[in-house]
Amino acid sequence: MESKAKIFGHPIHQMLVVFPLGLLATAVIFDLITLRSGAAHWSEAAFYMTGAGIIGGLAAAIFGLIDWLAIPSHTRAKAVGAWHGLGNVVVVLLFACSFMLRWNTPEAPDSSALALSIIGVLLALVTGWLGGELMDRMGVGIDEGANLNAPNSLTDHPHHTHGTSPGHA
């Protein structure tokens, strides 16, 4: 099932999701570095990365919702997509709560702010797996003509007339 929200022939959701995942996961790593080293500048950087990750997550969610709405009802993909999307809303909410708890002292987050971020990144591992299941196993967001010899996405050639189907040589 092709993505309904594309730019230059590629799904926008799949392009955007890497930013919040990377920013939020790295924010947790920076907090762990602060705990180990005592260098507060790592947690201050984590604060700003968390803010950017929240914004990126909200942007990715808009395009994920557009694609989810196009999935046929009563399919496994629709159910998995719902869990993926709802789980990611929870991830963003966990990080948003952590962000608010850090607001007055970004260089010294309290244990509840750290716990929320760690829980958020662990949940993001699960929701990321669900996203991979949607794309890799169910073909959600994959171009109908995807194959090993498909033409460049910027060409105007029909995508399903060249080469072999995915996984076939």
What pLDDT score does 156 carry? 62
Given a contact cutoff of 8 angstroms between Cβ atoms, the answer to whether 11 and 143 are in contact is no
Those residues whose C-beta lies under 8 Å from the C-beta of residue 141, and which sit 6 or more positions away, are: 1, 2, 3, 11, 13, 14, 67, 134, 135
Q: Is 104 helix (H, G, I), strand (E, B) or coil?
A: coil
Given a contact cutoff of 8 angstroms between Cβ atoms, the answer to whether 113 and 81 are in contact is no
Secondary structure (DSSP) of 55-72: HHHHHHHHHHHHHHHHSP
What pLDDT score does 151 carry? 85
Each residue's pLDDT expressed in tens, for the chain with a length of 169 residues = 878 887 787 788 888 999 999 999 999 999 999 999 999 999 999 999 999 999 999 999 999 999 999 999 999 999 999 999 999 999 999 999 999 999 999 999 999 999 999 999 999 999 999 999 998 899 888 888 788 888 887 776 555 444 444 444 4
What pLDDT score does 157 carry? 55
What pLDDT score does 11 carry? 83
What pLDDT score does 163 carry? 45
Cα-to-chain-centroid distance, residue 125? 10
Q: What is the distance between the alpha carbons of residues 65 and 58, in angstroms, rounded to a whole number?
A: 11
Rounded to a whole number of angstroms, the CA Rg of the chain reads: 19
Burial of 136 (0-12, 13-18, 19+ CB in 10 A): exposed
Q: Which residue has the tokens 């009802």?
A: 73
Q: What is the distance between the alpha carbons of residues 94 and 130, in angstroms, rounded to a whole number?
A: 18
pLDDT digits (tens, 9 = 90+) for 50-86: 999 999 999 999 999 999 999 999 999 999 999 999 9
